[in-house]
Amino acid sequence: MEIYEALLLGIIQGLTEFLPVSSSGHLELGKALLGDESMPRESMLFTIVVHAATALATLLVYRSDVSNLIKGTFMSNSREEQIFSAQILLSMIPAVLVGMIFSDEIEIFFSQQIILVGSMLIVTAGLLLIADNPKESTKDVSFFSSLVIGLSQAIAILPGISRSGATISTAILLGINREKAAKFSFLMVVPLIIGKIIQDIISGEVFINESQIGILTVGFLSAFITGIYACKIMISIVKKAKLKFFAIYCFVVGSISILTQI
């Protein structure tokens, strides 16, 4: 992978992580278009690094909420903060289980499986169309809804299924307030990404050659900077219920992706 390719892929990750169009799917499409011939493990490493960048962007944008989340988990006497922290932790369980049980199979998905990505983008389009309902959502996140949203996040491990699209759509369909749905969606993935990075470092799965440092750094920085702006834009989009435009986009890109492989 060249530096300019890392820059472009980082921008793609930063823009698409918070938009309901599947960042992992777009990364795989971007790698295919650029002719990236990395082995699945190397490709997965780049994906993890740029996801870490957008996780950091989330921490920055939602720093006050993250602070409350940490307090609620370890030191807060506020029942509201404790409940929210418990709900975030509960939402992580399905994705953690899927990641532990199917880790080898998941790695294969990140080797430019274009037909899979295209098919899952069409599924994402369907989810967004269903959720794009002008009816005002008013409920708060509950323990039951946390688990259901967590299940949708686990399914979104597949490249092409938008994680934010799936989780926000699920939350809206459960009647949860749109702004709260977006905030919960963005916060619930941060512990997962950080945990994955720590796990890979401890296990020795993450091994970076000296030649990779520049590429990974460029990818990280470009994803982080664009991610900050995309996160703020997505919050505004969810409030205004414009998800159908992203549904159309996902359907078109998914269809084209499949057709190019036939």
Angle at 258 between CA 129 and CA 152, to 5 degrees: 40
pTM of structure:
0.78
* DSSP, res 102: S
Domain count, the chain: 1
Give the CA count within 13 Å in the CB-facing half-sphere of 248: 4
Three-state SS across 181-239?
HHHHHHHHHHHHHHHHHHHHHHHCCCCCCHHHHHHHHHHHHHHHHHHHHHHHHHHHHHH
For residues 146 and 144, give the distance between their C-alpha atoms in angstroms, rounded to a whole number.
5
Q: DSSP letter at 21?
A: T
Q: Which structural domain, as residue segments, surrounds residue 212?
A: 3-261
Model pLDDT, residue 152: 92
Cα–Cα distance between 76 and 67 in angstroms, integer?
11
- Could you report the average pLDDT of every consecutive run of 10 residues in the chain (262 residues)? 86 86 84 70 74 85 75 64 84 87 71 84 90 72 92 88 88 84 82 72 64 85 91 76 85 92 79
